[in-house]
Amino acid sequence: MHDPNSISLPDLHGVPVFYPHGPQLIWISQNGEITHPNRSALAAELALGVVLLCHRRWSAARAGVEIDHYLDVMELFAFVRPARFALPTPAGLAQQLGLARPQNGEDMATLLPQIAFRLLDDLAAAPDDARQEAGRIATMMTAGGWNWGPYILAHLGLPMPPAGPPDSRLAMIWNRLADYTDYTPQAEPGTQPVLPDAARQRLAEMLGSNSELREPQADYAAAVAASFDRPDAGPAPAMV
């Protein structure tokens, strides 16, 4: 019987790959054939469906074409490894993921599916709390039309969200964070007395070694230190 809560894994293997390298436009078809189309042929291919690439804006600008339907491995990297730095290139992602460094343009293009599967597998192997958090956010983003959403949900074994607007409550991670304050706790007012010898020493530190030592000034500092005595030091207020 069909389980209404299950979904079939979208076929990422069948998604074509595009990567511009220097003057070359490298295209890997659904059958794995590597070609170097011109700009018009590339635009025709891109119009047929989703393409796997790295850094969509850079790729579109480099090729001089519009790319509307795509799976950007940089977006997937940012989702799986948030706040982690990586150069927005296949070589940069390979370095972060421990994959072999590509040597040429075709190596970079063929590396993109490996990067995608590695990131999806890493997410599926994450601790339970991290998977649940990712699942909630991916569910919301899938409802909003994010192309990576179905692939992430499939790898996490989660159902597709129901039709309708995204539920923003799924991304309210601050509701699950521990309480904290923007300010340090206020300490109790200090009641420690200033001793005469401490007043003399502090005066010497403030004047420095190049100043003249004047005993009357030091005697005055020691005398007025009594005004900082504790309020309960005696039956009457501390006065000088």
Amino acid letter for position 157: G
Q: What is the pLDDT of residues 60-98, one digit of tens each?
A: 999 999 999 999 999 999 999 998 999 999 999 999 999
Closest CA to 161 of 141, 175, 133: 141
State the average pLDDT over residues 4-18. 70
The helix (run of H) or strand (run of E) holding residue 71 is strand 70-72
Confidence band for 228, pLDDT divided at 50, 70 and 90? confident
Confidence band for 46, pLDDT divided at 50, 70 and 90? very high
pLDDT of residue 2: 35
pLDDT of residue 120: 95
Q: What is this structure's pTM?
A: 0.69
Flag whether pLDDT at 1 surpasses 70: no
Strands 24-28 and 17-21: antiparallel
Instruction: Count the residues in the chain.
Output: 240
Neighbours of 33 (CB within 10 A): 9
Confidence band for 223, pLDDT divided at 50, 70 and 90? confident
Question: Token pair for residue 15?
Answer: 């998604």
DSSP states of 167-199 as a string? -GGGG-GGGGSPP--SSPPPPPPP-----HHHH
Flag whether pLDDT at 175 surpasses 50: yes
How far is residue 195's CA from residue 191's CA, in Å, rounded to a whole number? 12
Query: Is there a contact between 60 and 70 (Cβ–Cβ < 8 Å)?
Result: no
Any idea which residue has 């295209």 for tokens?
27
Which residues have a Cβ under 8 Å from the Cβ of 115 and sit 6 or more positions away? Answer: 54, 73, 76, 77, 90, 93, 94, 97, 99
Confidence band for 5, pLDDT divided at 50, 70 and 90? very low
Q: What is the pLDDT of residues 85-142, one digit of tens each?
A: 999 999 999 999 999 999 999 999 999 999 999 999 999 999 998 999 999 999 999 9
Instruction: Tell me what percent of the residues of the chain surpass a pLDDT of 70.
Output: 90
Indicate the average pLDDT of the chain.
87
How far is residue 67's CA from residue 51's CA, in Å, rounded to a whole number? 9
Which segments of the chain does DSSP mark as H helices, in order? Answer: 39-46, 56-63, 73-80, 90-97, 105-124, 128-143, 149-156, 196-207, 215-224
Which of the two residues, 1 and 129, has the higher pLDDT score?
Answer: 129
How far is residue 72's CA from residue 11's CA, in Å, rounded to a whole number? 16
